[in-house]
Structure 1
Amino acid sequence: MNTTTTIKTGVKKGSTIALGYIPIAITFGLLAKSTGIPAGITILMSALVFAGASQFVAVNLLQLHTGAWEIVLTTFIVNLRHLLMSASLSAKIKNKIPQSWIPLLSFGITDETFSFLSLTDKEKLSTGYILGINTIAYFAWVGGTALGVYLGQGLPAIIKNSMGIALYAMFIGLLIPSIKKSNSVALVSLTAVGISALLNWGPSFLQQISRGWKIIIVTILASAIGAYLFPEVGETIE
């Protein structure tokens, strides 16, 4: 198939991902708007960052008046998984994708597109196919964000303020299915909850740590414990 055909095929296959992105992107736009972030900055964040989890975290930290370096470091840690996803995917597309396209295709990799591409037969992967999937997902996310931002201007204040719960609902929605499939994920999640509880309700000197640094500490410690307890990839899926 030529490039145009493979792009169309990728767009068609990626439409299911796009449909899932739109409501979450709208929620992000509403949440960012409710915290006072300018519309242009919110849309630009989705256009340049294109990482839902870290964007929600960043907005929440901004709402808590967290320092800039804490936000940068936290989002960096949250997005570290993209290095592993890109490395894993590169093994499937090695010698099939021109080097000049790698940066653009890498930018479009998300949790959902990575999962989809990882389950796709290696023979079907091509520059156009991956580009089509990434493109439809990207425009759904950016467009949904813009829709949320401008919808937010006409919503009552009580609804806009209530959008703060969206962050927690999103993470719970992502976490519960993984916990059901993996005991290791459940154990690491409980470990993270325990560390977080210790930092928030433990000795007074721990309670004085800022919210941003608490998130960083919990992420690093829980990940390190998980890597130590479950060093083999096969043990993470049961």
Structure 2
Amino acid sequence: MVLWVFGYGSLLWKAGFDYDERLVGYIKGYRRVFYQANTDHRGTAAYPGRVVTLEAIEGAITWGAAYRVSGDDKEALVLSYLDLREQEYDQKEHVNFYTADCLETPTVCNVLVYIGSSDKFKNRFWAGPAPLDEMAKQIARAVGPSGPNYEYLFRLEECLHELDCVDADICELAEAVRKQMNSSKGVNVTSERPEINLTTEVYSCLENNHMIPATEHR
């Protein structure tokens, strides 16, 4: 048996499992959005962060990476790991995956992807859309056990850039977050190569919630 998993968020820089092959490509009919609240890694129940999910839109594409896992035992282990890691997502979908050298015919079919839906009855972590400045302020301030929410966003932006898969919406949001952080005391963030420092608000949040930044698990 062979399992393929599509990563479009933190799986891009930290898969967290052994895989046999990694392909850069995209899926059709979805766009990447910061509409999923996060309380277990990049935020808390008192002050949730925002992470990416997928929104179904006709004609849209989302770039990312597909990971191949071979072997029944290995597949079961990876699925068990991902079900725990992605527990705040309520949907599992199977999609076609395309690469740059094969735009019309799927390179891989039946690729697993985790999605947080907009159905609030099934997905209690749905944060939904908000004005850009409002989302930027939330991401600039939220902190969880895996670290600051803005670090997640900046890592995603950098990773997509390294894959030559620049996402204009992600870049716009990252720039808005930098502006929020630049307005806070003790933070020096540039649009080219940000030096990520914890703000006074971040340290306060860590102290109040008895948390320290930990390894990314999402």
- Tell me, yes or no, whether TM beats 0.5: no
Question: Higher relative contact order at CA 8 Å, sep ≥6: structure 1 or structure 2?
Answer: 1
Q: Could you say which structure has the higher helix fraction?
A: 1
Of the two, which has the highest radius of gyration?
1
Q: Could you say which structure has the higher strand fraction?
A: 2
